[in-house]
Amino acid sequence: MPTVIQISDATSIALHSMVIIARARGENVTVREIVSATGFSHAHSSKVLQQLVKAGLLRSTRGPKGGFLLSGPAAGITLLAIWEAIEGPLSIGTCIVDRNLGRCPFDRCILGELPRRLTEEFRAYLGSRTLAAEIQGVAGHTRPDAKVEG
């Protein structure tokens, strides 16, 4: 079902994986653990995680006790930084037709200021949310194999 905001599979993998890794609180998290928790493709998840390493948001370690760790404190990594590591800069444009087709046939946007306002609000939201805030705000286990105490 279509929604106003479309998030690519790669960005969804990146956002979810980063929260899972942040919740591990300094323990390596493997691709297998992320795939087990999310259901994403192993191959696609591996590629996305490597993009996050190249962007400087994650560190990776090989070997039997290897996996992925945040490259810095969760409080210093915003959802916007994760988004932009995968999608590139989130620009505030005013016309969706110019971006998709190259030119608009009208003098004024039929959607008015809505595309610009929605993008500004979305960008501000992503920029204001850190991984530290997200790990406090989402339910679930710290690690895919953790037990819930209750």
DSSP string, 84-116: HHHH------S-HHHHHHS--SSSS-TTTTHHH
Token duo for residue 111: 């959607």
For 88, other C-beta atoms within 10 Å of its C-beta total 8
The per-residue pLDDT for range 1-20, each reduced to its tens digit, is 677 778 999 999 999 999 99
Q: Is the pLDDT confidence value at 92 over 90?
A: no
**Sign of the alpha-carbon dihedral angle for 137, 139, 144, 150:** positive
Which amino acid, 144?
Answer: P
Taking CA atoms, 31 is separated from 9, 118, 125, in Å, by 16, 33, 28
Average per-residue pLDDT for the chain: 86
pLDDT of the residue at 145: 46
How far is Cα 52 from Cα 26, in angstroms, rounded to an integer? Answer: 17
